[in-house]
């Protein structure tokens, strides 16, 4: 195989990898249901909607980590829903409900970035519910940990 042919194959492979990354960010990563109507948000849309950083320690990470995501209060504002619980379901069908009281008091986020990087499924992504555990010591308990759903696939607003 000549040098030009090797170069062409490498160039083609790199192009496919880059275009695959772009396509991955354009596929829906979250189904968002409100009043029986479902919207599908891409990772790019989630990143664009991200309005909050949470710097915290978790039982699953080392040291302080900066998470960026869409705040639960902002989600309610987006659909003009003044009061609702949010049911969060993971890729493996595990689910938890974020009660409205938690939204008011702690404003957990649907994190899409960890330390300025998107999160793979292997790293609990692409979406992970994050509470500000370090800011509120009383949050570091099993009940709250059970609400920190990772690999989030869908959310549903509940009256």
pTM, two decimal places: 0.82
Let me know how long the chain is.
159
Which DSSP category does 2 fall into? -
Which DSSP category does 60 fall into? T
For 99, phi and psi rounded to 5 degrees?
-70, 150
Question: Domain residue spans in the chain?
Answer: 28-158
3-state class (DSSP) for residue 139: helix
Does the pLDDT at position 11 exceed 70?
no
pLDDT single digits (tens) 13-43 = 444 444 344 445 588 999 999 999 999 999 9
pLDDT single digits (tens) 59-79 = 999 999 999 999 999 999 999
Tell me the CATH number for domain 28-158: 3.90.420.10
């Amino acid at each position: 195989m000549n040098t030009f042919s090797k170069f062409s194959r490498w160039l083609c492979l790199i192009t496919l990898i880059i275009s695959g990354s772009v396509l991955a960010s354009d596929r829906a990563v979250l189904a968002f249901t409100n009043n029986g109507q479902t919207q599908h948000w891409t990772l790019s849309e989630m990143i664009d909607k991200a309005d909050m950083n949470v710097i915290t320690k978790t039982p699953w990470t080392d040291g302080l980590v900066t998470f960026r995501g869409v705040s639960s209060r902002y989600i309610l504002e987006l659909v003009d829903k003044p009061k609702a619980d949010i049911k969060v379901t993971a890729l493996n069908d595990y689910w938890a409900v974020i009660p409205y009281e938690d939204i008011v008091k702690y404003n957990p986020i649907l994190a899409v970035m960890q330390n300025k990087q998107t999160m793979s499924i292997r790293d609990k992504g692409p979406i992970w519910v994050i509470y500000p555990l370090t800011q509120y010591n009383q949050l570091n308990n099993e009940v709250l940990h059970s609400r920190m759903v990772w690999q989030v696939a869908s959310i549903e607003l509940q009256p």
